[in-house]
Structure 1
Amino acid sequence: MLPIRDSPLSWQPAPSWEARPGGPATLRIQDDPQQLKYEFSIFDTAEQPFVAAELVFRDRKGVPVQVDLSRYSALSLRVRCAPANTLTFSAMNFERVIKGQEYLNYRPGLAYFSCNKSSSKVEIDLTRLETPHWWFYLVNLDLSRQAYKLDKVAKLSIGTTFQSPRGTPSTVEITELELEGRDYRYLGLLVVTLCLAWGGFGLWFFLRHTRVLTEDVRERLQKDLPFVAYQQLSLEPHRDKEKTAILQFIGSKYADPGLELDTVVEQTGVNRTKIGELLKAELGYTFSGYVNKLRLTEAARLLAEKDTAAVAEIAYSVGYGNVSYFNKLFKEEYGYTPKAFRDACKRGGDAADGVKEGEAYG
């Protein structure tokens, strides 16, 4: 994909929505078709900033388009950061899951990598990207629907994380950017060649060996089939099963005020220590922190969508029995009281929808 003019996929770099003038961060992309280099700075006062350089796919007329990346299995890049940084890669693929808010129909697939002043090569597995859990709750999808496609990708982005430096100018320089996959035309030719070769070998083998030896070979192959099938069934990691079971249970029971870690242990069969380690390693939260994140995310959605519901009613519906405690946690998370958050949504609803839709298309 670099240099840009030699890329078979037509794309242009663009700053993310939060890098707009007056936003919580600034970003400047250098005009260099040989590489992707950008400078950014995150303000110390920003609570949850995100700034990224987006690779927006466009047609020859410059109109945003969706491209099919499903034939690619990996993306590699050579990157250098000053100062050292932890960045996120994301692919925004279109899925028709909700009406009204078009930007939510773009499922983000995420991966994380680190970089420093020394140029290093990073390999990203496109078949194992993670969809953030907040997206499932905003579009009202079950967490078990982890499968995704990359057949309608509108843009890729390389952006910051909560571990990115603040209050200091930072630089990211990418000199190599390649999508890796297979050309199925050559694969088909290889299959045909192998079939012909094996056919010729089979004929030669039949003519030069006795029928008894042929039957013996066939019997051995039949005995090996169950073993091969068992190997294939054993490929699914046990850790992924435990992770899915834990997240599905918490995702379905987070609104229960009585939800405790012991309940999760009892229902999933995974011990307390392992649950804590998994949530911390995979999501960066403790058990209580993750439950609060789910509850507050759902509360924010309800406050924005249900004008007539009382704050206390919403607090109870997401699992909080104490409204004062709910108000305190909500303000810590979003910087607004629930009432002020709802008022802000009412005042900026139409304009915000327009801005977010523009963000989805780059």
Structure 2
Amino acid sequence: MASFQRKALIAFLILLALSLVLGAAGYRRSFLEAALVPTPDQQAPWRIQPGADASPGGRSETRMLDDGRRLRVQLHVAGTASTPYAEANLFFVDRAGKPVHADLSRYSSVSFVATCAPGNTLSLVAPTFEPTVSRRGDLLTYRAPTAFFACSEHGTRVDLDLTRLETPQWWFAMFGLDLAWREYRLDQVPKLAIGSSFQSPRDTDLLVDISGLALHGRDLRWIVVPGSVLLLAWAGFGFWFFRRHAAELTRDVQDRLQKDLPIVAYQQLSLQPHRDREKATILRVIATRYADAELDLESVVNETGVNRNKVNEILKAELGFTFSGYLNKLRLTEAARLLADKGSATVSEIAYSVGYNNVSYFNKLFKEEYGCTPKAFRGALGATDEVAPASTSVTKTSTIRMEQQLQP
């Protein structure tokens, strides 16, 4: 059993360490981040392009002040158009530099630091292609989910939820769609646009500086897949542990049962009653009355006429036990034999029959002696059909020989 426990502990620690390493690695990898600004090796490459109102009378302008490694633009929103705006567009491109629709469905948010002079409110738009109404390449027909954010002269940290952007009413009106149709997908996004809002000042040069622009999301496969593997590993470990533990417990119980047969202690004595009547008398009293709950050292002393110190000396010298230790040994071994008989007697009945009035105390002593509870002992022996009956037969035969040996 000790060898099995060491192996089980080592396997448990290895599996625990593996679980912690894989769990931590999977948890970290589940967090996705795609840096757009700034990065020399962009995960989602883009090409910047200015945009402004094109309606009659529109004179708004957007000037790019950097090379794209840092999004720095100057917006001038003219007040002459009915719906003026100016914006900086980050069009997604492939490796050849051609415009593409990026799949941003893995990302749930976008973050950046926005600095504006003068401070005002800007907008972020993530147009999405709607197969039922959009015409590929005609961005006016794309849904235009939008979010507004404050931008100060000292810099403002902005975090926007890409899954909860608001679609403007004009888009619903243009196609006669129900305003309640709020769901959209981010699997076909041609660009991200950062620009003015209806609250931006008119006819004023607005300096806008965007840094740390990044997309964030979660890929739960990095949690689900390792988690499933670890769950199977722990289930396998549990199955192995309980099977092996039951087998080891059964083997251990069988070994103890064979070793602790009641006759063993008597066979260790080269007892010749006619030459050593004190020993014979002491052993006979204990052997015939061990099931009596009232039996104690004082009773043996009174019945044999041998003083208490000598009783303990004889038992210690011949058997290696004190009186109480030897009495418990006999009672527990007989209890083990009765449990091995597979009879209908309950644990309580067996405890009473071998001299214990307190079942809890009996369970405690039995577990200390055999390493398991009486119920587990009976279950372990029940797992094999060969050993228990054989043990019982040996015990009964040995008991008869013991009684014959103690006859004067």
TM range, normalised to the smaller chain? 0.5 to 0.7
Residue in 2 aligned with 1:67?
Answer: 102
Aligned positions of 1:48-63 closer than 5 A? 48-63=83-98
Residue in 1 aligned with 2:197?
Answer: 161
Q: In 2, are the aligned partners of 1:93 and 1:152 still within 8 Å (CA)?
A: yes
Residue in 1 aligned with 2:114?
Answer: 79
Aligned positions of 1:72-111 closer than 5 A? 72-98=107-133, 102-111=138-147
User: Matched residues in 2 for 1:107 and 1:173: separation?
Assistant: 26
- Secondary structure of the residue that 2:158 maps to in structure 1? strand
Query: Which consecutive unaligned segments of at least 5 residues does structure 1 have?
Result: 210-362
Aligned positions of 1:1-362 closer than 5 A? 1-18=36-53, 23-98=58-133, 102-196=138-232, 198-199=234-235, 203=239
Q: In 2, are the aligned partners of 1:98 and 1:104 still within 8 Å (CA)?
A: no
Two-structure CA RMSD over aligned residues (Å): 2.9
Letter in 2 for 1:5: P
Q: In 1, are the aligned partners of 2:126 and 2:193 still within 8 Å (CA)?
A: yes
- Secondary structure of the residue that 1:9 maps to in structure 2? coil
Q: In 1, are the aligned partners of 2:53 and 2:83 still within 8 Å (CA)?
A: no
User: Matched residues in 2 for 1:24 and 1:8: separation?
Assistant: 35
Q: CA deviation at 1:204?
A: 8.1
Which TM-score applies when normalising by structure 1? 0.52
**1:200 to 1:168, Cα distance in 2 relative to 1, 3 A:** same
Q: CA deviation at 1:130?
A: 1.2
User: Matched residues in 2 for 1:84 and 1:171: separation?
Assistant: 9
- Secondary structure of the residue that 2:222 maps to in structure 1? helix
Letter in 2 for 1:134: W
User: Matched residues in 1 for 2:71 and 2:141: separation?
Assistant: 27
Q: CA deviation at 1:142?
A: 1.9
How many residues end up aligned between the 2 structures?
Answer: 210
- Secondary structure of the residue that 2:143 maps to in structure 1? strand
- Secondary structure of the residue that 1:74 maps to in structure 2? strand
Letter in 2 for 1:97: T
What is the CA deviation profile of residues 174-206 of structure 1, one whole-angstrom value per residue up to 9, with x for unaligned ones?
111111012455234432344235525754897
Q: In 1, are the aligned partners of 2:52 and 2:61 still within 8 Å (CA)?
A: no
User: Matched residues in 2 for 1:24 and 1:142: separation?
Assistant: 33
Which TM-score applies when normalising by structure 2? 0.47
User: Matched residues in 2 for 1:19 and 1:99: separation?
Assistant: 20
User: Matched residues in 2 for 1:19 and 1:35: separation?
Assistant: 26
Q: In 2, are the aligned partners of 1:104 and 1:139 still within 8 Å (CA)?
A: no
**1:100 to 1:152, Cα distance in 2 relative to 1, 3 A:** closer
Q: In 2, are the aligned partners of 1:90 and 1:108 still within 8 Å (CA)?
A: yes
Q: CA deviation at 1:4?
A: 4.8
User: Matched residues in 2 for 1:62 and 1:150: separation?
Assistant: 21
Q: CA deviation at 1:74?
A: 0.6
In our comparison, the structure showing a higher alpha carbon Rg is 2
User: Matched residues in 2 for 1:174 and 1:135: separation?
Assistant: 27
**1:140 to 1:32, Cα distance in 2 relative to 1, 3 A:** same
Q: In 2, are the aligned partners of 1:97 and 1:105 still within 8 Å (CA)?
A: no
Q: CA deviation at 1:109?
A: 0.8
Q: In 2, are the aligned partners of 1:87 and 1:112 still within 8 Å (CA)?
A: yes
Between the aligned residues of both structures, percent identity stands at 45
